[in-house]
Structure 1
Amino acid sequence: MIFFEYPFNEHIRAYLRLEYLLDRFIFSMNSNDVRLHQVAVSTFFDIIDLVERSDVKGAILQDLEKQRLFLLNFRERSGVDQKSLELALVEIKKISSNLATSPKPGNILRENEWLNSVKSKLLVYGCAAQSDMPSYHFWQYKTEKERREDLFRWFSYIQPLSESLKIALILLRDSGSFFDCLAVDGAYKEMLGGKIYQLLRIGVDYKIGVFPEMSANKHMVWVRFFFQDENFKAKSVIDNVNFSMSLCK
């Protein structure tokens, strides 16, 4: 099963973009390969830019507080594991507190002149070459341990954000349940009647060889399935497609 997601609003879109960048950064940071450490550095700058241009921190804090208040309704309710509930509430409070008191991620560029200069150079194609940035070239010849220590130190500026985003997205995705759907002749439409959702999730069997294009608002969900020809051009599916869908609040 392969999953596709569509955000109902821009702050959830920012969450998904940030999740993608953080996953790439953490994978590259934990690698032994200096070339992937280069990827980690450039991705780190992408993360800083995304966070600085949108109030992701404020949005996550608001969403975590909404989830905390929602979970409080289950206290003393029969059939609810109260121990697990309390652990979840404590974790949300801890994560929120760490994020609220954390410095702005962009501060690292204001405090580290070298990193800021590397970021500026990387905006120009090919400027990561040793002829343009001798100091960056020298950094890449540090030991694997030293490079990783540097990356972990820089990551500490965005770690509270990373941990909070992870919890916020887990809670969001868990708020919906998948149900079976059928796209007749490759197309599916469902009216929502003004109900407010934040995230649309589609699950489809990878072996079918199709992918969805989605559109959604408070009135309706529209899904159209496509396949790729030998030149990777998208072609509309004309057969029925079984898939799963979840609407998350």
Structure 2
Amino acid sequence: AHTPQVNAEMLNQLLDQQAQLLDQLHRMNTQPGAHLKKHELINAIRQRASIPGALCVFDLAALHHWLAQPYSERREDFLEWLEPLTTIRRANELVIDLIRNSVAPEIRTAEDGFFQLNLELGTPYQLVRVLLEDGSNVYPEISASKHRVIVRFMRLDRQTGHPFQVNHDVAFELAICQL
């Protein structure tokens, strides 16, 4: 059946992209990240990272040598290490984009920097998005449960670095996303 609100071309592109990614994921013949477990430098870092002081130059001379290499070489190494994970990243991006774009944001106001919204019971929400204008001097602190979403708008005290809730109204956009 044809649904007038659905852009058939975009839907077909999305379904094709999904099918391609699923095919690529099914063709992966190793556990994700297995190639990194065989890399000596990465293993040395992983094994020593939790030990206090174990990443110093005399314990991991190879790491410090690698860090001293030109940025372009280190970036090339990173891209090579991450390349086998590209299909997983692309699949995750597709799902996140679908969730993010499942609903249009609504303009809301946090009175004295505080906003609370009670959610419909039994509705499985996957993501809360809070959007602020560029250059905003506040940031959201979000607390969510299956019953409600609370957003407090915070600012850092420049002297102490201590966060505090602002005491003025903050306009923002809110999207409670679900598929």
Shift in Å at residue 184 of structure 1? 1.8
2:130/2:174 contact within 8 Å kept: yes
2:128/2:177 contact within 8 Å kept: yes
Q: Specify the code of the residue in structure 1 equivalent to 2:147.
A: H
SS at match of 1:189: strand
SS at match of 2:14: helix
Q: Which has the higher contact order (CA 8 A, sep 6+)?
A: 1
Q: Equivalent residues in 2 for 1:33-72 (5 A)?
A: none
- In the alignment, is residue 123 of structure 1 matched against residue 12 of structure 2? no
Provide TM-score, normalisation by structure 2: 0.80
The structure richer in helix per residue is 1
Per-residue CA shift, 1:39-82, capped at 9, x if unaligned?
Answer: xxxxxxxxxxxxxxxxxxxxxxxxxxxxxxxxxxxx63235332
- In the alignment, is residue 241 of structure 1 matched against residue 170 of structure 2? yes
Which range is displaced more, 143-152 or 113-122?
A: 143-152
Please, what is the CA RMSD of the aligned residues? 2.6
Q: Specify the code of the residue in structure 2 equivalent to 1:107.
A: A
Shift in Å at residue 145 of structure 1? 6.2
Q: Identical aligned pairs, as a percentage?
A: 26
- The structure 1 residue matched to 2:21, chosen from 81, 91, 95, is 95
**Distance (whole Å) between structure 1 residues aligned to residue 161 and residue 41 of structure 2:** 42
**Distance (whole Å) between structure 2 residues aligned to residue 149 and residue 239 of structure 1:** 47
Per-residue CA shift, 1:130-184, capped at 9, x if unaligned?
Answer: 4223333444566766555443332123222111111111111001211111122
- The structure 2 residue matched to 1:225, chosen from 145, 153, 171, is 153
2:156/2:162 contact within 8 Å kept: yes
- In the alignment, is residue 154 of structure 1 matched against residue 58 of structure 2? no
Structure (1 or 2) with the larger CA radius of gyration: 2
| Change beyond 3 A, Cα 1:81–1:176 | closer
Shift in Å at residue 226 of structure 1? 2.2
Could you tell me which runs of 5 or more consecutive residues in structure 1 were left unpaired when the two chains were aligned.
Answer: 1-74
Provide TM-score, normalisation by structure 1: 0.60
SS at match of 2:62: helix
- In the alignment, is residue 214 of structure 1 matched against residue 119 of structure 2? no
Could you tell me which runs of 5 or more consecutive residues in structure 2 were left unpaired when the two chains were aligned.
Answer: none
Alignment: residue pair count: 175
2:33/2:85 contact within 8 Å kept: no
1:104/1:157 contact within 8 Å kept: no
Q: Specify the code of the residue in structure 2 equivalent to 1:209.
A: N
- In the alignment, is residue 183 of structure 1 matched against residue 116 of structure 2? no
- In the alignment, is residue 197 of structure 1 matched against residue 131 of structure 2? no
Aligned to 2:6: 80
Q: Specify the code of the residue in structure 1 equivalent to 2:11.
A: L
**Distance (whole Å) between structure 2 residues aligned to residue 216 and residue 165 of structure 1:** 22
**Distance (whole Å) between structure 2 residues aligned to residue 188 and residue 78 of structure 1:** 36
